[in-house]
Chains A and B, each alone.
Chain A
Amino acid sequence: MNTVTTKVQRSRAFLTVFLKEVRENLRDRRTLISAFLTGPLLGPILFVMLLTVTLNRELDKAEKPLPVPVIGAEYAPNLIDALKAGGVVPGAPIADPERAVRKQDADVVLRIASDYGKAWRKGEPVQVELIYDSSQRDANTAVERVSQLVEGYARQQGAMRLVARGLSPSTAWPLQVARRDQATPQSRAVLMFAMLPYFFVITIFMGGMYLAIDLTAGERERQSLEPLFANPVARWKILAGKLAAICAFSTVSLLITLVAFAVVGRFIPAEKVGMELDLGLHFAAYVLLLMLPVVLLLAALQSMVAAFAKSYREAQTYISLLMLVPIIPSLVLAVMPLKAQVWMYATPLLGQSLGIVQLLRGDGVTTQQIGLCLAGTLAAAVIVVLATIQLYRSERLAIST
């Protein structure tokens, strides 16, 4: 008795825990589906569907004939002809245009006053009204188109009047604005892809979630934590093995989603609206690098939260709340497009969001930015790991009842 066991191969404990957790969870259908199917694929599928719908609608709007109800079309036949030439299909007048616009029955309604003809002949300024609701973002393209056509017609008529009076049209326009848009096809795409970093974070989160719950709260609920801790292995080593298993699952999730995005990126008709999207190998490699410390950070955070919970169900509740945290940086970037400061790169999750958006813009990331991003997140991960180790030392952790 006890002759061989004293020569304990201590380094093996970590690997033993890791392999056992991986094997056990590979046999759990729910974990597998969440980590390798719904988690990593939901993002890309949702993404490509949303984008295709949005892009196609933009395309439709720009090319399609645009029906616009016109009130008082008979007073301004020339204007109506000009609008028709620009692709507008004048419709029958409607009784209550304000209501129709608010109810989204019409994107925009044009109202021409009955004294249009009289004023026009006198050479007095006349008013045409565009009735629309700017809070209906969907209608904005239509409003823009009609408004440009009307203004273009006005400018053209104005110029003709000046010529008729022997003046150069340029007298009336002493200043000309020339717009020089510096947006590249890639940077235009960024507006739409600001949420992409969040998809990656959520994938990592979902990949490890069930393991994190199972390996701490679940193990305690099933009363297997106490016998486990009766083994001659330091608790931090057990935790390390468990964290490694969580990280392995979430990394595989991330890899699957990166591949899926690379495949799906080819089917997004981004170039049709003057955007360029590169989700290929180069992009994937950088995202993987930036996200690696996030994998550890989230695994530790999830384990810590699960260690607080008394039951599997309680842990599930806490962790779903935790899932809302990583959305913050992406939201901040989407709502307030800040100029990136150096410290932001070192902020966990925010740094990754900035880096990924830069990659999408085609600007690339500098070594310094990558360094800050990795160092900042890794530091946060180490702190959370240490806190979780501390939590694992607690006597109460192992007690199931």
Chain B
Amino acid sequence: MIEVRDLHKAFGTVKAVDGVSFTARDGEITGLLGPNGAGKTTTLRMLYTLMAPDRGQVLVDGIDAAVDPLGVRRQLGVLPDARGLYKRLTARENIDYFARLHGLPEALLSTRRDALIKALEMDDIVDRRTEGFSQGQRVKTAIARALVHDPRNVILDEPTNGLDVMATRALRQFMARLKGEGRCVLFSSHIMQEVAALCDRIVVIAHGRVVADESPDALRAMTGENNLEDAFVKIIGSEEGLAA
């Protein structure tokens, strides 16, 4: 479970995150929805302790990120906005590197790795160097290395960015599977349909603030709009930065 309480983060005079609070529960998919520049990535970066908040608290499975950042990172599997792979290493070597950094014993490492390779259907690319991978192959590899230590909480920053239809479908199924395994899945997106199709709970962020935190149905009821996209526009108050 990920609990976020009143997060603030400013870069100079720009308030990137200005009082964000929400809870992402186990066995649920929580969507962080908002236009570009709303503060989604900065919020997530504070969750996986890449950045320290100016104010506020992050708790992952009850561990305070400010007190034990390494402990928090151990509970998390993260697909950051930056998902660079090591081009001169094969997909398998990329995954193994992160597994070893998590301190996974070699025997467990290979079972976990092979399970993920199967689940993500990447048998054909696993022994190729990642240089020249397609966007979809890159994301698969990045997800595999993020989840190889079997984390209870999964954070995905715009996971479907740049993926084609088939890859997006596969990824959604994979996320549903993670939820089915009882994990807490938190992902960010600016794409309405995606959030609507997947999420148990939607946290809408605009201008660094949470403007709604509801189930998709409640969101529709709240705005009186049947169409979730119209609801979204109504909530954030403009069409700025919105991509369908």
Q: How far is the CB of B212 from chain A (nearest CB, A)?
A: 28
Q: Are B74's CB and A6's CB within 8 A?
A: yes
User: Which of A12, A23, A229 is the one whose CB lies under 8 Å from B50?
Assistant: A229
Interchain CB contact under 8 A, A395 and B150: no
> In the complex the two chains form, is B102's CB within 8 Å of A231's CB?
yes
A225 and B152 contacting across the interface, CB-CB below 8 Å = no
Is there contact, CB below 8 Å, between A230 and B76?
yes
Q: Contact check, A222 vs B87: say whether CB atoms are below 8 A apart.
A: yes
Cβ–Cβ < 8 Å partners of A395 in chain B:
50-52
Chain B residues with Cβ below 8 Å from A228 are: 101
Q: How far is the CA of A227 from the CA of B146 in the complex (A)?
A: 8
Question: For residue B183, which residues in chain A have a CB less than 8 angstroms away from its CB?
Answer: 1
Partner of B70, one of A2, A4, A28, A232: A232
Indicate if A10 sits at the interface (CB-CB under 8 A). yes
Within residues 58 to 101 of chain A, which ones have a CB less than 8 A from any CB in chain B? none
Across the interface, name the chain B residue whose C-beta is closest to A241.
Answer: B101
Within 8 A of B (CB), among A1-53: 1-2, 4-10, 12-13, 16-17, 20, 23-25, 27-28
Quick check: B85 and A224 within 8 Å, CB to CB? Answer: yes
Contact of A20 among B70, B89, B145, B150 (CB under 8 A): B89
Tell me the bound Cα distance from A6 to B73 in angstroms.
11
- Contact size range, B: 35 or more
Check B50 against A400 for contact (C-beta < 8 Å): no
Residue from B48, B74, B85, B102 with most neighbouring chain A CB atoms (10 Å): B102
Given A7-B103, A231-B98 in contact, is the A226-B80 Cβ separation under 8 Å? yes
For B51, list chain A residues within 8 Å (CB): 395
Residues of B within 8 A of A28 (CB): 88
Interface residues of B in 77-96 (CB under 8 A from A): 78-89, 93
| Interface residue? B174 (CB, 8 A) | no
| A227-B78 contact in complex given A23-B89, A24-B89, C-beta closer than 8 Å | yes
Which residues of chain B have C-beta atoms less than 8 A from A1's C-beta? 150-152, 181-183
In the complex, are the beta carbons of A223 and B102 less than 8 A apart? no
Q: Is the CB of B84 within 8 A of A227?
A: yes
A5–B101 CB distance below 8 A: no
Least Cβ distance of B226 to chain A in Å?
38
Say yes or no: A8-B103 contact (C-beta < 8 A), given A224-B85, A226-B81, A230-B80: yes
Contact of B73 with A231 in the complex, beta carbons under 8 Å: yes
Instruction: Give the residue name and chain of the B residue nearest to A234 (CB).
Output: B70
A226 touches B82 (CB 8 A): yes
Output the least CB separation between B22 and chain A (Å).
20
Given A2-B152, A223-B83, A224-B84, are A13 and B48 also a contact pair (CB < 8 Å)?
no
Q: Which residues of A contact B81 (CB under 8 A)?
A: 226
Taking the closest CB of chain B, its distance from the CB of A35, in whole angstroms, is 15
The answer to whether A16 and B97 have CB atoms under 8 Å apart is: yes
B231 in contact (CB, < 8 A): no
Query: Given A1-B151, A227-B78: A398 and B103 within 8 A (CB)?
Result: no
Q: Which of B48, B88, B105, B151 contacts A4 (CB 8 A)?
A: B105
Q: Is B142 an interface residue (CB 8 A)?
A: yes
Q: Are B142 and A24 in contact (CB under 8 A)?
A: no
* Contact of B75 with A by CB under 8 A: yes
B97, closest chain A residue (CB): A20
Complex interface: chain A residues within 8 A of B87 (CB): 222
B108 lies within 8 A of A227 (CB) = no
A233 located at the interface, meaning its Cβ lies under 8 Å from any Cβ of chain B in the complex:
yes
- CB of B5 within 8 Å of the partner chain: no
Contacting residues, chain B, for A12 (C-beta < 8 A): 100, 103
Taking Cβ atoms with an 8 Å cutoff, the residues of A that contact B are 1-2, 4-10, 12-13, 16-17, 20, 23-25, 27-28, 219, 222-234, 395, 398-401
- Additional A-B contact list (4), CB under 8 Å, known A4-B105, A8-B103: A9-B103, A226-B82, A233-B101, A399-B82
28 A-B pairs in the complex with CB atoms less than 8 angstroms apart = A2-B151, A2-B152, A4-B105, A5-B104, A5-B149, A6-B74, A8-B74, A9-B105, A13-B101, A16-B97, A16-B101, A20-B93, A23-B93, A24-B86, A28-B88, A225-B82, A226-B80, A226-B82, A227-B84, A227-B145, A227-B146, A230-B50, A230-B78, A231-B73, A395-B52, A399-B50, A399-B82, A400-B82
Binding site for A on B (CB under 8 A): 48, 50-52, 70-71, 73-76, 78-89, 93, 97-98, 100-105, 108, 142, 145-146, 149-152, 181-183
